[in-house]
Amino acid sequence: MQTALKNYLPLFKLRICSLITFSAVVGLISTASANISITNILFLIIATMLASMSASCFNHYFDMDIDAVMKRTQTRPIPSGSIDGGRKTLLIATVLFIAAILVSFNALNYMVSLHLFLGALVYAVIYTAWLKRRSWSNIIIGGLAGSFAVLAGGASAAAELCLLPVLLAITMFFWTPSHFWSFAIVH
């Protein structure tokens, strides 16, 4: 059981999910007044981690064929054979996604749910499943995914679009392509 769980952990890309979650908390802090609720912060962290982990699982599922041929990604759980890449991964991704939407909607508000939904959708479906294999501009559109986390954080303080989280989201959007293109050059 412990070995099986250990084999599934890399599906979640916890370092990346933690950074996305951190950006959501920054979005909250940038919007909120001095009376930030610890409860809101905790639910934002939980919901954002769940949504990010879900998107990561979907990414592993959709990319299992190309991960098997890329040297950098051959050791990921599915292509390496350490886990079954089919239905279990898709089920985990779906359950995490539904949990993220339910937690954010019930504990925070509909705007947080919307932003987390859009972030996961952009990353898992539009970027990974659709654009990555078809267009050089995939990372430009994919850059929207992380931006939605900042907006979710801002929305957890006020169920509306606020200027500072929007500016932070735009900054993140423009930073993402240059970051990934330099990463691609190295690898």
| Residue 4, in any domain of the structure | no
| Residue 92, in any domain of the structure | yes
pLDDT of residue 183 exceeding 70: no
Model pLDDT, residue 3 = 66
| Residue 121, in any domain of the structure | yes
Other Cβ atoms closer than 10 A to 72? 10
76-116 confidence digits (pLDDT tens): 888 888 888 788 999 999 999 999 999 999 999 999 999 99
Q: What is the CATH number of the domain that holds 22?
A: 1.10.357.140
Residue 142 pLDDT grade (very low, low, confident, very high; cuts 50, 70, 90): confident
| Residue 174, in any domain of the structure | yes
> Which of residues 120 and 136 earns the better pLDDT score?
120
- Residues 55, 124: contact at Cβ < 8 Å? yes
DSSP string, 72-86: GGTTSHHHHTSS--S
Count the domains in the chain: 1
- For residue 177, give its domain range: 17-186
| Residue 7, in any domain of the structure | no
Give 54's contacts (C-beta < 8 A, 6+ positions apart).
93, 94, 96, 97, 100, 120, 124
| Residue 43, in any domain of the structure | yes
2-53 confidence digits (pLDDT tens): 667 888 999 999 999 999 999 999 999 998 666 688 999 999 999 999 999 9
| Residue 8, in any domain of the structure | no
Model pLDDT, residue 73 = 85
pLDDT of residue 68 exceeding 90: no
If you average pLDDT over every residue of the chain, what do you get?
A: 89
Give Cα separations from 142 to 7, 63, 119, 121 (angstroms): 27, 15, 9, 10
| Residue 133, in any domain of the structure | yes
What is the Cβ-side half-sphere exposure of residue 94, based on CA atoms within 13 angstroms?
6
Distance CA 136, CA 94 (A): 28
Per cent of the chain over pLDDT 90 is: 54
Give 126's DSSP letter.
Answer: I
Burial (CB count <10 Å: 0-12, 13-18, 19+), residue 134? exposed
